[in-house]
């Protein structure tokens, strides 16, 4: 059976900091810092909800993280600005290497799935807006099991939904917590190091491969 690749979406395929230019018109020169904090809180809220087993859709984590970040930075948004940001978050841009990298992997015979904390509808909207939806066999969401990565249950759910086994499945992610979660579940994992400043957690687990560009992934994981 062909190797299955489970692609994280937010931060790996889609640039979660793609709204910095928009944020500059709302929060000024702290836009990049604001965006980083928003993303950190979004993930933190997902982790905490998974641990508490108090699930809400990822979009709620995103909205609540935005509200927290506004309070932290003492930059209240008007209701129309808040709505505009959350609407724009549904159509964030893909990274420049994504379309070509995915096309090369598909041409090489890999089975490609999007695997995300976002709901299927939210992820399909993102992939459609980025023009890459047709490169995937499907979208598999942690929403199906009402939890978030790196809960072991979500990696198990992926295998069942994709009709794959852990021995033939790779996670592809820029998020170290996700890579470690997949490795802990018995998968192989490719870390997409999208910044030279990105650090991998010193947990005694290392990515199976590391790339900085998705266009290099097919060669890196070829048998």
* C-alpha dist (Å) from residue 177 to 81, 132, 190, 191: 31, 25, 12, 10
What own/partner pairs with CB < 8 Å and gap ≥ 24 does 105-112 have? 105/5, 105/214, 105/217, 105/218, 106/135, 108/218, 108/222, 109/2, 110/2, 110/3, 110/4, 110/5, 110/218, 111/2, 111/3, 111/4, 111/5, 111/137, 111/162, 111/164, 112/5, 112/7, 112/136, 112/137
Nearest-CA neighbor of 185 among 173, 200, 198, 193?
Answer: 173
Catalytic residues: 8
């Amino acid at each position: 059976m062909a190797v299955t690749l489970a692609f994280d979406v937010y931060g790996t395929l889609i640039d979660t900091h793609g709204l910095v230019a928009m944020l500059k018109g709302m929060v000024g020169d702290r836009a990049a810092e604001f965006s980083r904090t928003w993303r950190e809180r979004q993930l933190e809220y997902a982790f905490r909800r998974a641990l508490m087993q108090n699930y809400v859709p990822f979009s709620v984590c995103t909205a609540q993280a935005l509200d927290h970040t506004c309070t932290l930075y003492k930059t209240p948004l008007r209701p129309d600005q808040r709505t505009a940001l959350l609407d724009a978050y549904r159509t964030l841009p893909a990274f420049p290497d994504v379309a070509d990298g995915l096309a090369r992997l598909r041409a090489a015979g890999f089975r490609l799935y999007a695997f995300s904390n976002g709901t299927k509808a939210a992820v399909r909207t993102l992939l459609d807006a980025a023009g890459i939806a047709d490169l995937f066999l499907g979208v598999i969401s942690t929403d199906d099991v009402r939890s978030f990565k790196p809960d072991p249950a979500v990696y198990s759910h992926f295998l069942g939904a994709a009709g794959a086994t852990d021995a033939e499945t790779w996670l592809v992610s820029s998020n170290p917590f996700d890579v470690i979660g997949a490795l802990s579940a018995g998968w192989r994992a490719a870390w997409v190091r999208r910044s030279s400043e990105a650090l991998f957690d010193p947990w005694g687990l290392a990515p199976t491969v590391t790339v900085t560009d998705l266009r290099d992934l097919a060669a890196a994981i070829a048998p």
